[in-house]
Amino acid sequence: MTTETSPYTVQQEKMARYAKALSHPARLFILEFLDKQSCCFVGNIVDELPMAQSSVSQHLKELKDAGLIQGTVDPPRVQYCVNRKNWSEAKALFSEFFEVESMV
């Protein structure tokens, strides 16, 4: 097993991963919705989006895999919340990225 070394910085790799998670309007909607409600059930999100339940579930999985949200089971429901730690990390990465010269 060879250790693949990326030609990119850790920050670039991490930020690209977060950016990919943010690259679909439905996922942005979910994150903003979660942030507003500070945690809610999958059903609440499904009700708000014009797509099948399975599709919403898939978007939630991607957000979870990216570390931006976390879920806790409350049978038979699942409650999702923003993962504040990683949210902060993402925020810092984007902030640093855009701040290179001068803002606004």
Residue 68 beta carbon to a second copy: minimum distance, rounded to whole angstroms:
11
Q: Closer to DNA at the Cβ: 50 or 103?
A: 50
32 in contact with a second copy (CB under 8 A): yes
52 binds a second copy (CB under 8 A): no
Q: Does 97 bind a second copy (CB under 8 A)?
A: yes
Q: How far is CA 58 from CA 13, 14, 88, in A?
A: 22, 21, 23
Q: What angle do CA 13, 14, 15 make, to 5 degrees?
A: 95
Pinpoint the alpha helices (H) of the chain: 10-21, 25-37, 42-48, 53-65, 84-98
Closest approach, Cβ 83 to a second copy, in A, equals: 13
Q: How far is the CB of 23 from a second copy (least distance, A)?
A: 4
- Cα 16 from Cα 48, distance rounded (Å): 28
Question: Which of 80, 70, 95, 99 is CA-nearest to residue 15?
Answer: 95
| Beta carbon nearer to DNA, 76 or 104 | 76
Per CB under 8 A, residues contacting a second copy are 6-8, 12-13, 15-16, 19-20, 22-29, 31-32, 35-36, 49-50, 87-88, 90-92, 94-95, 97-101, 103-104
